[in-house]
Amino acid sequence: MNKHLELPSDSIVDRVYEQLKAMAVSYEFKPGERLNEGELAKRLGVSRTPLREALNRLNTEGFLRFTPGKGFFCRELDAHEIFDLYELRKSIEVASIRLAIKRQGRAHRRAVEIPRGHRPRSRRALIGRAGRAGRDVSRTADGDV
């Protein structure tokens, strides 16, 4: 069969999609940058057909935007979207800390608390105690206890 008439296999489209998505997420494409299909196809070692399918999929998912007659562009984030992303991150971090605290036992909490009226001998001792507690909380959150 003529190679140019074959439809691209899903695995090729999926591979190109994953590569393009990774490039977009890692800012290999600058926000607002027009994507050159010819260069991308050559760089990824594929024809334009699977490349366009992957680009359309990324457009549908909001990673890229398409302007008829001009092509695909890397999507730009506005200030509200950036703020929303930070709010989401903050919510996830707070939930993670709450879960870690919930998972740790009462004995562990007593071990890392500084008794009332007790002053650490040095700032270094206090920092060391806080560091150990942080590692323990991290292990607890990951379920490594």
Better pLDDT: 53 or 134: 53
pLDDT at 55: 97
pLDDT of residue 6 exceeding 70, the answer is no
CB 58 within 8 A of CB 20: yes
**% of the chain at pLDDT higher than 90:** 43
| Alpha carbons 144 and 75: distance in angstroms, whole number | 39
Q: Could you tell me the pLDDT band of residue 115, with boundaries at 50, 70 and 90?
A: low
Paired tokens of 141: 């959150």
> Do the beta carbons of residue 75 and residue 65 sit within 8 Å?
yes
For residue 18, give every residue at least 6 positions away whose Cβ sits within 8 Å of its Cβ, in sequence order, or none: none
Residue 30 pLDDT exceeds 70: yes
122 pLDDT above the threshold of 70:
no
Measured distance between the N- and C-terminal CA atoms of the chain, rounded to whole angstroms? 59
Q: Enumerate the domain spans of the chain.
A: 3-74, 79-142
Long-range contacts of 40-48 (CB under 8 A, 24+ apart): 44/16, 44/19, 44/20, 46/8, 46/12, 46/16, 47/4, 47/8
Of the ranges 30-34, 48-52, 134-138, which one carries the lowest mean pLDDT score?
134-138
* Residue linked to tokens 């323990």: 136
Contact 74, 24 (CB under 8 A): yes
Geometric angle at alpha carbon 80, from 79 and 85, rounded to 5°: 100
Picking from 9, 79, 81, the residue whose alpha carbon sits closest to that of residue 46 is: 9
The CATH number given to 3-74 is 1.10.10.10
Instruction: Give, in order, the Cα–Cα distances in Å from 26 to each of 21, 29, 30, 80, 120.
Output: 8, 8, 10, 21, 44
Q: What confidence tens digit (pLDDT) does each residue in 47-97 have?
A: 999 999 999 999 999 899 999 999 999 988 888 888 888 899 999 998 888
76-86 residue pLDDT tens: 888 888 888 88
Asked whether residue 38 carries a pLDDT value surpassing 50, the answer given is yes
Residue 40 clears pLDDT 60, i.e. is over it: yes
In this structure, which amino acid lies at residue 18?
E
